[in-house]
Amino acid sequence: MSDQDYPVELTAPDIEPYREGNTGVEFVTTYDSGAPGPHVMINAVTHGNEICGAIALDTLFKAGLRPERGKLSLGFVNHMAYARFDPADPGASRFVDEDFNRVWVEDRLDGPEDTAELRRARELRPIFDSVDLLLDIHSMGTYSKALMINNGLEKERAFVREVNFPAYIMCGPGHVVGKRLIEYTPFNDTANNKVALLVECGQHWAAATGTAALDTALHFLRAAETVSSAFIDAHLSEAARTPPKAVMWDVTDGITSATDDFRFVEPYIGMEVIAKAGTVIAHDGGAEIVTPYDDCLLMMPNHRPGANVRKLRLCRRSA
Ligand SMILES: [Zn+2]
């Protein structure tokens, strides 16, 4: 299936009212409770085609969300790409010049290169440098169940257990080129207590994905002890009020296509668990791709064609 095959059930909200903000950085608003506590931040539209986060933040703004302790920031990250979102070609607005979620490498941030995303990253960097707990809201290309991603550090595992939403917690990198925001050094550092989490809320434009984005934001805020439980209870969806205990998985492998003739043996959507080691899951040119161990979970299969494309991550249930 290509992007065109997925109906656009969500409506991208107008975020222009949030452009001015109050931080000196466009599309970032910070509320200070005046009481001690962490600086908590929620990001939307790191990818401009992933509109569920904008829906969640728009809802929180309109509901009058304020922190009870510490500081709370709400940011629309790649607003430049989001401004180009077109329901008639919904996949086209992922970024302007390059993937915002690959630029978080000091050499590039400090270097001479100039792209729309690097300029925006340099604007946002002092804010991220002051953030203690970050939730970066994303969505996916298939109808996969929602999942939470972290680097697998102990500090992250401890906090994400408290968030306990959505029901899948995926730990580890899975061989990405460049660095995602959650891998930016101050977060991916065992010497401090900062935690950055990335949630994939479901298919980019499915109605349920907007609900999952708001529910995840609220469970994150609950775990961060930032806002009142009355606010959270008033805005959680019915199904997310008492979630089951989330299951933790370790990302063990990333699979990248070696040829432009990479074919999955089934139209996987993600989160399928393959019982037997050695099961063929894809063909890449003449090579067979097999599961390396029993009960292997297939995370975020990518059905876009081409060589040198990240096709899949493999995960094993965490002990
Ligand atoms: Zn994304």
Which of these three, 207, 229, 245, is where a domain ends?
A: 245
189 shares a domain with 258? no
Average pLDDT, the chain: 96
Residue 169 Cα to ligand 1 middle (Å): 16
Three-state SS for 95? coil
Which of these three, 245, 267, 291, is where a domain ends?
A: 245
State the Cα–Cα distance between residues 252 and 262, nearest whole angstrom.
Answer: 20
171 shares a domain with 90? yes
Residue 196 Cα to ligand 1 middle (Å): 14
Residue 193 Cα to ligand 1 middle (Å): 24
Residue 96 Cα to ligand 1 middle (Å): 14
| The pLDDT of residue 232 | 97
Residue 30 Cα to ligand 1 middle (Å): 23
Q: In the predicted model, is pLDDT for residue 127 greater than 90?
A: yes
| The pLDDT of residue 1 | 67
Confidence band, pLDDT 50/70/90 cuts, at residue 3? confident
Q: What is the mean pLDDT of residues 156-185?
A: 92
State the Cα–Cα distance between residues 300 and 313, nearest whole angstrom.
Answer: 7
Residue type, 182: I
275 shares a domain with 232? no
Percent of the residues in the chain that have a pLDDT greater than 90, as a whole number: 95
State the Cα–Cα distance between residues 146 and 275, nearest whole angstrom.
Answer: 21
**Domain CATH number, residue 218:** 3.40.630.10
168 shares a domain with 52? yes
254 shares a domain with 204? no
Q: In the predicted model, is pLDDT for residue 97 greater than 80?
A: yes
| The pLDDT of residue 319 | 75
**How many domains does one find in the chain?**
2
180 shares a domain with 294? no
Residue 137 Cα to ligand 1 middle (Å): 7
Q: What is the mean pLDDT of residues 10-19?
A: 98
Which of these three, 227, 245, 263, is where a domain ends?
A: 245
Residue 46 Cα to ligand 1 middle (Å): 6
| The pLDDT of residue 173 | 80
Residue 104 Cα to ligand 1 middle (Å): 14
179 shares a domain with 59? yes
Q: What is the mean pLDDT of residues 27-35?
A: 98
Contacts of 286 (CB under 8 A, 6+ apart): none
**Domain CATH number, residue 263:** 2.40.50
147 shares a domain with 34? yes
256 shares a domain with 206? no
Q: In the predicted model, is pLDDT for residue 63 greater than 70?
A: yes
Residue 125 Cα to ligand 1 middle (Å): 19
| The pLDDT of residue 2 | 74
- Enclosing domain of residue 289: 250-317
| The pLDDT of residue 226 | 95
142 shares a domain with 83? yes
- pLDDT by residue (tens digit) across 264-279? 999 999 999 999 999 9
Contacts of 68 (CB under 8 A, 6+ apart): 33, 35, 225, 226, 227, 228
- pLDDT by residue (tens digit) across 280-305? 999 999 999 999 999 999 999 999 99
Which of 12-26, 164-178, 234-248, 259-273 is predicted with the least confidence, judged by mean pLDDT? 164-178
Q: What is the arrangement of strands in the sheet containing 262-264, beginning at the earlier edge strand?
A: 262-264, 280-284, 287-290
144 shares a domain with 37? yes
Q: Are strands 133-140 and 39-44 parallel, antiparallel or unpaired?
A: parallel
Please name which of 69, 61, 33 lies closest in space to residue 235, comparing C-alpha atoms. 61
Residue 94 Cα to ligand 1 middle (Å): 8
pTM for this predicted structure:
0.97
96 shares a domain with 129? yes
| The pLDDT of residue 175 | 64
Q: What is the mean pLDDT of residues 55-66?
A: 98
Residue 192 Cα to ligand 1 middle (Å): 26
Residue 245 Cα to ligand 1 middle (Å): 25
- pLDDT by residue (tens digit) across 216-253? 999 999 999 999 999 999 999 999 999 999 999 999 99
